[in-house]
């Protein structure tokens, strides 16, 4: 039974794997208890969104894409403390603060965020809609729990603030929280999209002195150097040799995999020194298996870890990053390759699939 007509908004809806992106989404007529309606100002197109439409991941359809966004609280439900008009960044892993992981200080692994998605809202023709990571942020507006929004200062450039919610928090967190890169260390970053470029920026800020950026696309060279890399290397047969030549024959202290493929996880492994650490930031496919030699695992004494949402507490770290964005300490201009209106958002997916640019951001 529907109490009131839903509010229909323009949104980027994937109907099925490989199908076109278009449409409108019906959102709840009013935010429920503990919920807010956010008017979206800017939303980045992340490779995970592409993975939801090209068959790499198998989400439920129809699906509203998008999970990296900023906007303004437009309406609040009962019991919400945030005021209408508050600028916010969306959080795709809102912590319950009560589960086993939250209580031990690992909110990025909150049990709630791994629970199956329930439909929310519906398409114009009445089919229940799923929202990417509970957000579905490539839309004019979303209705989400209050805990899925993080207040940020007013006046931030929206196309940069949006990236705090995924690429930047993930990249910066991977460097600081997951890997713990220290001044003077050497780093390799494989895959130079929004996430990899954010890792480069963070590695530079952490004081890493050798920062090797690796990609299959030569076109990423200038972006990488602008983001903080000391060197750009093409991902080819000579890669291991080139990395060793720049690390006194040892390999890097830290390798970051920012593609999401078994082949690049293996490449990251090979580029890392004995006793070094591989941090997997990319989200790969379920059946893409990584194979490593048992003797090599023992002998190399390397650590292999993944970094989910930068092993961060977004409620604490997004406001800190937002403050740095506001005062200029964090320069994200190189991460934004351009802005695109919502109706032309499929163009951003094409560019991302071709490996063009850094982040393409939909602005509203
Ligand atoms: N070796 C090196 N680089 C590669 C390779 C490879 N074999 N294959 C692809 N790349 C590069 C692409 O050229 C591109 O520059 O990886 C980069 C990926 O960038 P994006 O597509 O922009 O992806 P991004 O949004 O940064 O996400 C990276 O993190 O969050 C996860 O799901 C996301 O797995 C994805 C990863
Ligand atoms: Zn993302």
Residue-level pLDDT at 28: 85
Ligand 1 atom with the shortest distance to the CA of 284: 34
- Over residues 46-97, the pLDDT tens digits come to 999 999 988 888 889 999 999 999 999 999 999 999 999 999 999 999 999 9
The residues lining ligand 1, judged by C-beta closer than 6 Å to any ligand atom, are: 46-48, 51, 190-196, 214-217, 220, 235, 258-260, 263-264, 281-283, 352, 355
Residue-level pLDDT at 74: 97
What pTM was computed for the model? 0.94
The secondary structure of 250-280 as a DSSP string is S-EEEEEE-S--HHHHHHHHHHEEEEEEEEE
Residue nearest to atom 32 of ligand 1 (CA): 48
Q: Is 248 a residue whose pLDDT tops 80?
A: yes
Task: Name the pLDDT band for 3 (thresholds 50, 70, 90).
Answer: very low
Per-residue pLDDT, averaged over 143-169, amounts to: 97
ipTM score of complex: 0.98
Ligand positioned closest to the Cα atom of 232: 1
- Over residues 92-108, the pLDDT tens digits come to 999 999 999 999 999 99
Residue-level pLDDT at 114: 59
**Is 364:40 a contact under the CB 8 Å cutoff?**
yes
CA 1/CA 18 separation, integer angstroms:
33
Ligand positioned closest to the Cα atom of 164: 2
| Bridge partners for 26 per DSSP | 8, 122
Residue nearest to atom 17 of ligand 1 (CA): 191
Q: Could you tell which of 193, 263, 265, 361 is best to mutate to test the pocket of ligand 1, judged by most ligand atoms within 8 Å of the CB? A: 193
Which of the pair, 119 or 159, is modelled with greater confidence?
A: 159
Residue-level pLDDT at 2: 46
Q: How far is the CA of 84 from the centre of ligand 1 (A)?
A: 37
Q: Give, as residue ranges, everything with CB less than 5 Å from ion ligand 2.
A: 46, 48, 166
CA 225/CA 86 separation, integer angstroms:
36
């Amino acid at each position: 039974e529907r109490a009131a007509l839903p509010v229909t908004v323009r949104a980027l809806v994937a109907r099925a794997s490989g199908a076109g992106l278009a449409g409108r989404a019906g959102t709840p007529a009013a935010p429920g208890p503990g919920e807010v309606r956010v008017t979206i100002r800017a939303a980045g197109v992340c490779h995970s969104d592409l993975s939801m439409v090209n068959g790499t991941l198998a989400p439920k359809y129809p699906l509203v894409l998008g999970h990296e966004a900023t906007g303004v609280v437009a309406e609040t439900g009962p019991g919400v403390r945030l005021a209408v008009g508050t600028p916010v960044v969306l959080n795709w892993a809102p912590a319950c603060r009560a589960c086993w992981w939250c209580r031990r200080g690992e909110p990025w692994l909150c049990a709630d965020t791994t629970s199956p998605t329930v439909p929310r809202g519906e398409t114009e023709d009445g089919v229940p809609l799923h929202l990417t990571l509970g957000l579905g942020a490539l839309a004019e507006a979303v209705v989400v729990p209050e805990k899925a929004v993080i207040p940020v200062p007013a006046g931030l450039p929206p196309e940069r603030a949006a990236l705090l919610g995924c690429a930047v928090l993930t990249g910066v967190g991977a460097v600081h929280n997951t890997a713990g890169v220290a001044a003077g260390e050497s780093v390799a970053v494989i895959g130079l999209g929004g996430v990899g470029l954010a890792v480069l920026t963070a590695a530079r800020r952490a004081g890493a002195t050798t920062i090797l950026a690796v990609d299959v696309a030569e076109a990423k060279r200038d972006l990488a150097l602008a983001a903080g890399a000391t060197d750009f290397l093409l991902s080819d047969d000579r890669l291991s040799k080139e990395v060793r030549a720049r690390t006194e024959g040892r390999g890097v202290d830290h390798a970051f995999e920012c593609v999401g493929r078994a082949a690049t996880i293996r490449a990251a492994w090979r580029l890392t020194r004995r006793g070094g650490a591989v941090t997997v930031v990319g989200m790969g496919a379920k059946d893409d298996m990584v194979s490593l030699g048992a003797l090599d695992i023992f002998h190399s004494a390397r650590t292999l870890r993944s970094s989910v949402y930068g092993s961060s507490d977004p409620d604490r770290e997004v406001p800190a990053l937002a403050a740095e964005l506001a005062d200029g300490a964090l320069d994200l201009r190189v991460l934004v390759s351009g802005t695109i209106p919502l109706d032309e958002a499929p163009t951003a997916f094409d560019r991302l699939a071709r490996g063009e640019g850094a982040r393409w951001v939909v602005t509203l």
